[in-house]
Copies of this chain bind each other. A is one copy, B any other.
Amino acid sequence: MDDSGSMRHRNGGHKRPRLEDVAARVGVSTASVSLVLRGVPGPSERTRQRVLKAAADLGYQVDRTASTLASRRSRLLGVMVDIRSPFHAELVEHLHTAAEEVGYDLVLSTLTRTRDEQTAVETLLAFRSEALILLGPTSPADALAALDNKTPVIAVGRRIADSALDVVRTADDDGVGQIVDHLVGLGHREIVYVDGGKGVIATDRRRGYRTAMRRHGLDEQIRVLTGDQTEAAGERAARHLLSGPRLPTAVVAFNDQSAIGVLAALTRAGVAVPGRVSVVGYDDDTLSRLSCFNLTTVSQSAQEQARQAVTAAVERLDRDRTEPREVVLTPRLVLRGTTAEPA
């Protein structure tokens, strides 16, 4: 008679196996078992085999809480992510593999409407994360700096003026610059920019647009339409253009969402893209990859950013680096189907 049924989950009697149970089964000390299971050299081959067998038989699984406590190391990197962001999803994916390679694990804490950065970070800390990787943090620089005083913080994707903490990001101005270069190369001159509101990133991208235009001697053509991060903003901007005296030959939007809005509004109005007007986004969103949009955009190399973030954390933790470091990656233009020579 076993005790399945009413006692199933209460584990009537036999709870989750402990190190001690494995040890008893083999007839060695818990110390030996611990050594074997962690792959520490020392135990003889014979014990090794027997312990491994017993552990497997019992379905033993280490208890992280206990080992963290005992070793004073959690080997955990805390990651704050906006779970709604496809870009963050991509970053997390690469963070996982990067962390695994250096023997760390990830613990995620997500931002939601009712869960602010403060809460997310506290959760991460409660798990004893050894370093915090914050994806697109919006907290003020000094708050981040204060946090960094307790635990190494790596900010990803956001510029932080002469920061005391590590930063990994791409050069947003450069990205937009590449877009403008590409368009000018195609022969465009009337290139409008749909803005992304205030915020560090929006500022950088807008600057990138202005700088690049001037670099090409197109000072006169600089034209920035107000907007934000949404598709609606893109539509609004496009309608504004459509109601104007003449259309520009190219529109660059703050991000893909906004670009999609522009695209949809233009198409609906019968304006051919890229036949009549070229449209470019930013972020290389899942959205932009949809074949029905096939949007030319800029990719932020999630993989490289993830790798750099983990490296930064490891340097802090295992190599005693103490000087803050900023890694600025170059974004990459992704040519798809919404850009062409002007008509």
Contacts and interface: CB of A to CB of B under 8 A. Distances in A.
A92 interface: yes
A235 to B, nearest CB: 7
B125 A61 contact: yes
Contact of A83 (B93, B123, B322): B93
Given A151-B9, A152-B9, A316-B9, A292 B235 contact: yes
Given A96-B110, A96-B115, A127 B64 contact: yes
B322 A9 contact: yes
Contacts of A90: 84
Given A61-B125, A126-B62, A292-B261, A83 B74 contact: no
Give this chain's copy count.
2
A110 B123 contact: no
Which residue, A6, A123, A290, has most C-beta atoms of chain B within 10 A? A290
A149 interface: yes
Contacts of A38: none
A232 interface: yes
A243 interface: no
A64 B126 contact: yes
A264 interface: yes
Interface string A104-125: 0101111011110000001101
Nearest to A115: B96
Interface in A287-334: 287, 290-292, 316-317, 320, 322
A16 interface: yes
A173 interface: no
Contacts of A97: 112, 114
Contact of A105 (B88, B123, B125): B123
B127 A292 contact: no
A63 interface: yes
15 contacts: A4-B149, A9-B316, A10-B320, A16-B150, A59-B150, A62-B126, A64-B65, A83-B92, A84-B86, A84-B286, A97-B112, A231-B292, A264-B290, A265-B292, A267-B267
Interface of A: 4-6, 8-10, 16, 59, 61-66, 68-69, 74, 81, 83-84, 86, 88-90, 92-93, 96-97, 105, 107-110, 112-115, 122-123, 125-128, 149-152, 231-232, 235, 260-261, 263-265, 267-268, 286-287, 290-292, 316-317, 320, 322
Given A63-B128, A64-B126, 14 more contacts: A4-B149, A9-B317, A16-B150, A63-B126, A83-B89, A83-B92, A84-B86, A86-B86, A93-B112, A96-B112, A97-B114, A261-B291, A264-B292, A268-B292
